[in-house]
Amino acid sequence: MKLPIFLILLGLMLPLTAEMRVWRAVGGFRTEAEFISYVDGWVTLKRKDGREVRVRVERLSPRDREEVQKLAGDDATGFLKTETETRKAPSGRRDLVWKELNRGDFWPKKIHERELKALKELSTRWRHAETEHFIIHYEQLGYAKRVARQADFFYEYIAYDLNGMKELATEKSHIVVIKDRDDWKEFLKLSQVAPEWAGAYVRGQVMFVMDTDDNERNANTLAHETSHLVLNRFFRSRPPLWLNEGMAEWYERNGWKAFKGQHVNVEKGLGELKNPYPVPKLMDSGAYPAKNEVNRFYLTSRELLGFIKLQKDQKAFVEFLSMITVQGKSQEQALSKVYGYNSIRELDAAFQEHID
């Protein structure tokens, strides 16, 4: 039987309804829902229970981004290409620039007097060398050269990510290499600058690091601390503590693999965080928590950084970072302008969705 013409026309006028399907995004996000809309980079999905969720289109898998583009049709203006941009990091396999410094006082001008006094009490055999990016202060040559080679790579690896930001420091940063754990403990005790649980630390343009006799642990610690050292060269305003440590944890996790020439999957493990530090408390922290909470604080900082960072491209993250550390804007202002989160509460809700 033929349908009346008005029913056919009515059918043509009705919008197509999207079917329920499983949507996937970076960090392990997975939900069964139907497509509702795509507006200004945000995809709205509706779950079976009627609850709506919003996710940045960049976070969706390539196949799901194609599905959004098909469902949004002419409304998918400014849509990102589905192919992933590949960026080549500097190679760690190269000759080390190493020049021994034999005459003059090579200690950094802004080293704390207690730090310098403690170092001189530890040893009178300090030697100094210059690399492509750093001044190295050391006692044992072998470990010092490993530190120098890796630190020079990490410098370029991190600075490469900051494309568009101007390096503000004009003199080379310094790395003080302390030969073993016993000397390190004595140094912390004498200088009284860093907390007793610290395994290394950076203050301004100077890094203090020890040899743990564990190559991988040494390298991961060095990547973490070098990020502080390098970032301090670009920042005019101090970033929130969580952002500073989140970036350091990010490069600790990825830098050593990159140095060895291994493939770095920055999305691996994201969304799997258990027992996170409360996000509002994290973002408001101006000091480190108690010792038994430090690891939880660090891991949540890295997870939150990764969640934010991967919602758009690196250029957007540099804008976010520059707003806070160069322009002196608040993290709330930067989050709103760059990522569309109008409050910490809104960011927290999206983050909880990410790790559920």
The pLDDT assigned to 319 comes to: 95
pTM of the model: 0.74
Note the pLDDT tens digit of each residue in 84-132: 333 345 665 667 889 999 877 899 888 999 999 999 999 889 999 999 9
The pLDDT assigned to 345 comes to: 94
The pLDDT assigned to 145 comes to: 95
The pLDDT assigned to 27 comes to: 59
The pLDDT assigned to 164 comes to: 85
The pLDDT assigned to 206 comes to: 96
Q: Which of 300, 330, 111, 76 is nearest to 203 (CA)?
A: 111
The pLDDT assigned to 14 comes to: 40
Structural domains in the chain, CATH included, are 16-75 (2.30.30.700), 95-234 (3.40.30.160), 240-356 (no CATH)
Note the pLDDT tens digit of each residue in 154-170: 999 999 899 889 899 88
The pLDDT assigned to 16 comes to: 45
The pLDDT assigned to 265 comes to: 85
The two tokens of residue 53 are: 């969720």
Phi, psi of 130 (to 5 degrees): -120, 130
Q: Which residues of the chain have pLDDT under 70?
A: 1-18, 26-28, 40, 58, 74-94
Burial readout 180-189 (b: 16 or more C-beta within 10 A, e: otherwise): eeebbeebbe
Q: How far is CA 270 from the centre of its chain?
A: 12
